[in-house]
Amino acid sequence: MTNHTKDGNFYNTSPAISPQGDKIAFISDRNDYFDVYIMSALDGEILDKVVSGQKTNNFEEMHLLTPRITWSPDGKKLALAVKAGERDAIFLVDIMSGKQEKIQLDLDGVFSVDWSNDGNLLAFVGVKSPQSDILYL
């Protein structure tokens, strides 16, 4: 689906298939920054870049050692944990409008976000030094 040689990049990771099975969200450095793209699961065509990483404080870092992208059950939004300024945050991204909602948490780290099947909860790893726990909101 991706070809680092053809695309001229080094890193493609964190594939997440939409609930409908027609799209794949993933992180790639194809434009020299780590961005989130959506491609067709049918033919690999890039449909959109929904997050431009490393260009603002909101997407300072994508946690490349523990990356995770999750789709809302209706396939309209993505959720991911990022370093956003002084603290980590969870971002919800509407894939049609590009609108972003930042959920700031009083934690030292946030990783591995996952959406519940009913769309009402987000589960994630929350770190408050020196322990980590599974949390939800």
d(CA 70, CA 45) in angstroms, rounded, equals: 20
Q: What is the pLDDT of residue 129?
A: 85
**What contacts 56, CB < 8 A, 6 or more positions away?**
none
Q: Domain tally for the chain?
A: 1
pTM: 0.86
Residues of the chain short of pLDDT 50, as ranges, are: none
Domain that holds residue 72: 4-136
* H-only helix segments in the chain: 4-7
Q: What is the pLDDT of residues 104-114, one digit of tens each?
A: 999 989 999 99
CATH number of the domain bearing residue 91? 2.120.10.30
Q: What is the pLDDT of residue 59?
A: 66
Strand segments (E) across 18-75:
23-28, 35-40, 46-51, 69-71
